[in-house]
A and B are shown apart, each in its own frame.
Chain A
């Protein structure tokens, strides 16, 4: 059976559920080897957290250059591994870091790349949802080692416990991958709310908030949801730009998306229309977003949301 590489995904010093998701998909194609890049002396501890999903082995590569040079150094070492061991495919999580590593490995190994897959079949055909989820595309890599980045949260992870064999390999990193130097790194600031793109529930506010997100935030907190915003709201400076959902912002695909005071231009839809359930609250009965809502409330969000917040809190207590 062929070997499939996955790049183990970590948050801090722990493997994420995304690692198990990558393994779940990779196991359809072949035997899974998870690659762990670590600072000198830190590999064993990181590898020990790669303990969920159908993972047959973990390959640990340690070097002080990974923390010092970031993406280019990791990509260089990974490309050299791919060249040496010729896996049948390489799967990586589809976030900024993962896509940049994939991009560089594709160049270095002369391989085709597919990003933002939501699924990969046993014959290494990737499924993508493009144009804001309006179109399903199936595609295949036709050159080199298929390099596919898979969106977190898009496949059901096999979370069975794993006790993979752990091996070590040396890092081969060329000088060209050491040209940018990281002088300091801060982990992401964790607010009380979940990360927008990983949240199961997202509550977003738009023009209808008139700049007052308090009702949106309270409702989001009652659901344990992340808070998003439309471009109109972020452009007006009402909410940080990092929370913008839409074509030029983030794409989210939660179990539940609640749009409050957002009319729903194509620009916004493109960032949220693959959400499983969509609820819309808007004063304007003609708001286009009602057309794709599973449940719509025509009403003022400043009346509807506080009542809903109270209702949810009552049910929880």
Chain B
């Protein structure tokens, strides 16, 4: 099987984020592989391992696909050190400020040209948090959409079945190859890259392509930010120390605020 995993480099989710000129400041902040994409990488590796492996000469390959600046190679390298075979990074200055639609168009073109059987994504990036790119890729390619999977079963003969878990309930869904999967957090426990994996990843290929090489032209964002203003910081209110009546003080506060 040819498996692709889409990953994104994002500001560290523990860092303060700021807007500069209507865009997220990605330069002056620590950047990491999107937490939620690690589950996608792990799931891809497990699927490969369950069906003949992805070692040299194995039955499967796991390719990491990403879009971002040169710096995104760090996040891609982490996915490679977990065990993915190789990577494609679409890196083009014209993509700065790309929205989800433009991003999905680029990813879909790369995926379509790569001839993959399945594509696995995280459910969202921890920066934009839109949760729309996997559905957009599926719509663009006309491939089956198997998103928000808490369980994935792959029949290498060409079929994927998932358990989809959302606030609307639990669905069992299946689709033939090729299809787009997104996996929820905690579908698995992502492995830590081993020392061997980290060393091996240094030798793996990250193919960097600009838009011309991908064969798609830059699409401007179809929504624009008019203004972005930091909200006033919340001020600390009343603080009491529990000396035996802390619970009562809490109840009195709730009553005063008419919350009970």
Question: Residues of A at under 8 Å CB distance from B?
Answer: 70-72, 75, 95-97, 99-100, 102-104, 106-108, 111-116, 125, 129-131, 133-144, 176, 179-188, 195, 197, 201, 223, 241, 247-249, 251, 255-256, 265-267, 270, 273, 277-279, 281, 285, 290-300, 303-312, 315-316
Contact = CB atoms under 8 A, between A and B. Distances in A.
A299 B138 contact: no
Contact of A138 (B130, B143, B226, B239): B226
B44 to A, nearest CB: 19
A72 B148 CA distance: 14
Given A70-B145, A95-B168, 17 more contacts: A71-B145, A100-B132, A103-B132, A107-B104, A134-B17, A136-B230, A137-B19, A140-B224, A140-B226, A223-B260, A266-B15, A267-B14, A277-B257, A296-B238, A299-B242, A307-B248, A311-B250
Contact of B241 (A188, A291, A292, A299): A299
A188 B175 contact: no
Which 7 residue pairs spanning A and B have beta carbons closest together?
A299-B242, A307-B247, A112-B222, A176-B142, A103-B132, A311-B251, A308-B247
B16 to A, nearest CB: 7
Contacts of A103: 100, 130, 132-133, 135-136, 139
10 contacts: A96-B148, A113-B222, A115-B132, A134-B231, A135-B231, A137-B225, A144-B222, A180-B146, A186-B169, A255-B259
B237 A112 contact: no
Interface in B162-184: 166-176, 179
Contacts of A107: 101, 104, 136, 139-140
Contact of A96 (B166, B237, B257): B166
Contacts of A278: 234
B210 interface: no
Contacts of B144: 179-180
B131 A292 contact: no
A296 B240 contact: yes
A308 B245 CA distance: 9
Contact of B175 (A97, A144, A180, A195): A180
Contact of B135 (A104, A187, A251, A311): A104
Chain A interface, DSSP helix/strand/loop, else mixed: mixed
Given A96-B148, A195-B167, A296 B173 contact: no
B86 interface: no
Given A135-B228, A247-B126, A114 B260 contact: no
Nearest to A138: B226
A180 B15 contact: no
A301 to B, nearest CB: 10
Nearest to B127: A131
A130 B186 CA distance: 24
A256 to B, nearest CB: 5
A114 B138 CA distance: 19
A185 B169 contact: yes
Contacts of B172: 182-185
B35 interface: yes
A97 B168 contact: yes
Contacts of B130: 99, 103, 115-116
A265 B14 contact: yes
A265 B130 CA distance: 22
B21 interface: no
A142 B135 contact: no
A99 B132 contact: yes
B185 interface: yes
Contacts of B225: 137-139
Given A104-B135, A180-B179, A304-B246, A241 B166 contact: no
A102 B185 CA distance: 22
B259 A295 contact: no
Contact of A304 (B147, B230, B242): B242
Interface in B1-58: 13-19, 35-36
Which of B104, B129, B239, B246 is packed against the most chain A CB atoms within 10 Å? B246
A97 B135 CA distance: 10
Contacts of A180: 144-146, 173-175, 179
A19 to B, nearest CB: 15
B253 interface: yes
B96 interface: no
A113 B225 CA distance: 12
A3 B231 CA distance: 33
A188 B228 CA distance: 37
A116 B237 CA distance: 29
A111 B222 contact: yes
A54 to B, nearest CB: 26
A179 B147 CA distance: 13
Contact of A312 (B17, B19, B254): B254
Interface string B212-235: 000000000111111111110110
Contact of A99 (B101, B131, B174): B131
A188 B248 contact: no
Given A296-B238, A296-B239, A297-B240, A305 B247 contact: yes
B94 interface: no
Given A266-B14, A298-B241, A248 B36 contact: yes
A135 B236 contact: no
B228 A100 contact: no
